[in-house]
């Protein structure tokens, strides 16, 4: 490898085939796959969040999957700290870090850095959760707009997780999160003082391909034990505002298990919500291109399996990678 550390980013919407692509590239390039999805960090949600199977994990190293207890929210700052540790470890082993996921903010925390916000007192965090539970996201957005309009203007009134975060930062530090973000950041990720070099592959399949994939994935999740995972979550009586309790399929299956709707309706609503989420993901990547910090190759197709990757995209992707990082990839 060259003196500058290299990492590969694999980004794209839910159900686009990121995991299959990461697995195939990892085998080709001697990689370690590192999770960059905010829901796949949680334990107990392996089926619902489509985490890699035991068979897939046995083929090459996978990191940061199912690591966080659902009772404890995972922040971008926590993930960034952990992923830097895993990237350094992969580099020390002579392996290529391959960051795979759909959470754009996670990627940007590496390529651009994050605001250095002081620790938040527990009482401020508890207040934010209590307000969200008692009044709902729209009311919390209105409160935030009155107290910290700059931060509220950046957030959707339905984005409960980020609204709660913005409220706790304002209450806990006396400054809005927008103010902290405008004051500077950690800067791009570094390894022992040397900036990481990022190369990105972005999957951008047609909408109709995603809709079909979402429906197929939902059916597979039900067959794989998704209801059992939701039953286990409900048995713990966790705060419904926690991110893990709002993972795709959890609210809908929870309602079905409580008898509030039928299984068919739960599936319809879940697939609709996932479809809307993939639209927001696509919008995010259009307006915040990974190309700002990384050479990016876009694939306008869905990678349905590792076999499909090997047959239809392998030469194309490897040619792209080697054309810009000649001599730096394991096995190049």
CA distances from 149 to 68, 132, 175 (A): 32, 18, 11
259: left (phi over 0), alpha (psi -120 to 50) or beta: left
Instruction: Determine the Cα–Cα distance for residues 18 and 213; give it in Å rounded to an integer.
Output: 13
Tell me phi and psi for residue 242, to 5 degrees. Answer: -65, 145
Instruction: Determine the Cα–Cα distance for residues 69 and 169; give it in Å rounded to an integer.
Output: 23
Instruction: Determine the Cα–Cα distance for residues 287 and 262; give it in Å rounded to an integer.
Output: 38
Instruction: Determine the Cα–Cα distance for residues 183 and 42; give it in Å rounded to an integer.
Output: 31
12 marked ligand binding residue: yes
14 marked ligand binding residue: yes
Instruction: Determine the Cα–Cα distance for residues 102 and 122; give it in Å rounded to an integer.
Output: 29
Instruction: Determine the Cα–Cα distance for residues 59 and 3; give it in Å rounded to an integer.
Output: 28
Cβ-Cβ contacts under 8 Å for 125 (sequence gap 6 or more): 168, 172
185 marked ligand binding residue: no
Instruction: Locate 304 and state its tokens.
Output: 């349905």
Could you give the 3-state DSSP secondary structure of residue 17? coil
111 marked ligand binding residue: no
Max CA pair span of the chain: 59
Cβ-Cβ contacts under 8 Å for 9 (sequence gap 6 or more): 36, 99, 107, 198, 199, 200, 201, 290, 294
256 marked ligand binding residue: no
278 marked ligand binding residue: no
**Annotated binding residues:** 12-19
- Binding residues for ATP, by number, are 12-19
Q: Which residues are annotated as a binding site for substrate?
A: 14-19
């Amino acid at each position: 490898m060259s003196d500058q550390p290299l990492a590969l980013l694999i980004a794209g919407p839910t159900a686009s085939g990121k995991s299959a692509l990461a697995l195939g590239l990892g085998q080709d390039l001697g990689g370690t796959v590192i999770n960059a999805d905010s829901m796949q960090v949680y334990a107990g949600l392996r089926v619902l969040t489509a985490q890699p199977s035991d068979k897939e994990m046995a083929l090459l190293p996978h990191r940061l999957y199912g690591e966080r207890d659902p009772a404890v929210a995972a922040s971008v700052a926590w993930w960034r700290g952990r992923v830097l540790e895993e990237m350094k470890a992969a580099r020390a082993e002579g392996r290529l870090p391959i960051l795979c996921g759909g959470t754009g903010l996670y990627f940007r925390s590496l390529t651009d850095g994050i605001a250095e916000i002081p620790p938040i007192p527990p009482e401020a965090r508890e207040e934010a959760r209590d307000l969200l539970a008692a009044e709902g996201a729209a009311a919390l957005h209105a409160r935030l707009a009155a107290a910290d309009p700059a931060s509220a203007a950046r957030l959707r009134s339905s984005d409960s997780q980020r609204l709660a975060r913005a409220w706790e930062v304002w209450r806990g530090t006396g400054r809005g999160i927008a103010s902290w973000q405008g004051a500077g950041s950690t800067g791009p990720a570094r390894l022992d003082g040397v900036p990481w070099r990022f190369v990105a592959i972005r999957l951008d399949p047609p909408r109709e391909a995603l809709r079909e994939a979402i429906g197929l994935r939902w059916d597979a999740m039900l067959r794989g034990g998704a209801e059992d995972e939701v039953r286990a979550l409900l048995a713990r009586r966790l705060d419904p505002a926690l991110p893990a309790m709002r993972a795709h399929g959890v609210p809908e299956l929870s309602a079905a298990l409580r008898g509030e709707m039928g299984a068919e309706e739960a599936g319809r609503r879940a697939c609709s919500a996932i479809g809307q989420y993939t639209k927001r993901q696509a919008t995010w990547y259009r307006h915040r291109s990974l190309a700002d910090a990384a050479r990016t190759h876009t694939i306008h197709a869905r990678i349905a399996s590792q076999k499909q990757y090997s047959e239809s995209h392998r030469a194309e992707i490897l040619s792209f990678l080697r054309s810009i990082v000649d001599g730096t990839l394991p096995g190049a």
